[in-house]
Amino acid sequence: MSVCVPKGYLMAGVHCRIKRDPQKPDLTLVMSELPAAAAGVYTRNLVFAAPVALDSSRTPSDRIQVVVINSGCANACTGERGLRDAREMARLAAAACGCQEYQALVMSTGIIGEFLPMEKIAQGISAAAVKLGRTEECLISAARGMLTTDTKHKIAGRSVKIGGRQIQITGMAKGAAMMGPNLATMLALILTDAPLTADDCQDALAASVERSFNCMSVDGHMSTNDTVLLLANGAAGGEPLQGDQLAQFQQALDEVCIELAIAIPADGEGATHLITLKLTGCASRQAAMQIAKTVANSPLVKTAVAGADPNWGRIVSAAGYAGVPFDPAKVSLKVNGFLLYENGAPTHFDAASVSRSIRDNRDTLVELGFGEGDAELTFWTTDLTAEYVRLNADYHT
């Protein structure tokens, strides 16, 4: 898949001493050389961070040129000072890129309840501004600057020809835990050189988020800082996409978002398995989503997968308490292709073979079928291990 910097963007990631390890970048600066249409989708947590308040007030827009991101400090639950700091962070980034404050957006991630070290932030923005570039190295450093407990940077991209124009879509994301739909403890920035109106940009992003980032969970915990931004600067040329062209763009954007969304639980804290839940035969997408979230967030389901235990009872019973009506006699369950449960009763299967298929592979496929309708959904989650508990017990202290 094509992963490169779209036309008209510059970026850099630097270490500005928010994190202790000098080998870990903790500030990312991204600049569009042209004013860009910009859209955002944000956490639905009523306790939301200062950067979320700032960005949601500035998107959608048709004039954004700068995004600045810090890791190591979330600037969440920091009151009026947090809002001032977020605005100052935007002002500093805009000034460093020769833009106006209203043209800048901010994202922060890290520990909740701590104030931004603004002197370090200012120094980091200045340092990043002189390193701005469009090379692969610049892209990777920018992606690394937004990480917290992630073990690897997360980048995805697609290059598509639409209406005679070669259009690039490239995204970067962070997230490894504190993950639950709407959204999770995650940041994502997606850049494209496609020409889009601000409204189409917002609609496209909202649709892609629903199919991707809102279909994954690590622990069901909705964070305070979750943000997905899409910038479209039109550097590919031509009039804004519309009709079939917009549909082509949507498909490519969906692919980028889904790839990034899968990468987050795949890198889940302490996880040894990426679990893909495929639900079919549901009465509605809403019903499928409720069942998927309930199964995905069940500690007993997650620990069964961690222990390579084909415990069909935990999966079926989790679906049963999701609060969604269905006929239990029509339910079927497969794990890694093995049929464990059909028409409301367990089947005869080789438990050792199923267990081995889970234990010997990082990916686990759980397929739940219902006889209620034709709605389908794919959802991604992780297992639950002692290492997850250790990492999150030690995160702050």
The full set of domain ranges for the chain reads 9-266, 274-393
pLDDT, position 397: 39
| pLDDT at site 394 | 67
For residue 195, give the nearest of 227, 153, 237 by alpha carbon.
237
Distance of CA 313 to the CA centre of its chain: 31
**What is the pLDDT, as a whole number, of residue 346?**
96
Would you say domain 9-266 falls under CATH 3.60.70.12? yes
Bridge partner residues of 27 (DSSP): 14, 70
- CA 191 vs. chain centroid, Å, equals 14
Residues recognised as catalytic: 185
d(CA 245, CA 161): 10
- Paired tokens of 199: 């409204």
pLDDT of residue 48: 85
Closest among 232, 174, 168, 198 to 32, alpha carbons compared: 232
Q: What is the pLDDT of residue 178?
A: 53
Q: CA nearest 260: which of 220, 225, 292, 212?
A: 212
By the 8 A CB rule, do 31 and 235 touch? Answer: no
383 and 218 Cβ atoms separated by less than 8 Å:
no
The CATH label, of 3.30.565.10, 3.40.50.261, 3.10.20.340, 1.10.10.10, for the domain at 274-393 is 3.10.20.340
Instruction: Give residue 191's pLDDT.
Output: 98
Please name the amino acid found at residue 233. N
On whether the CB atoms of residues 107 and 89 are closer than 8 A, the answer is no
Q: What is the pLDDT of residue 265?
A: 84
Write out the two tokens for 214.
């809102």
pTM beyond 0.85: the answer is yes
Per-position pLDDT tens, the chain of length 397: 678 999 999 999 999 999 988 889 999 999 999 999 999 999 888 888 999 999 999 999 999 999 999 999 999 999 999 999 999 999 999 999 999 999 999 999 988 899 999 999 999 999 999 999 999 999 999 999 999 878 889 999 999 999 999 999 999 999 765 544 444 457 999 999 999 999 999 999 999 999 999 898 876 556 677 899 999 999 999 999 999 999 999 999 999 999 999 998 888 777 899 999 999 999 999 999 999 999 999 999 999 999 999 999 999 999 999 999 999 999 999 999 999 999 999 999 999 999 999 999 999 999 999 999 999 999 999 998 888 777 777 655 3
3-state secondary structure of 35: strand
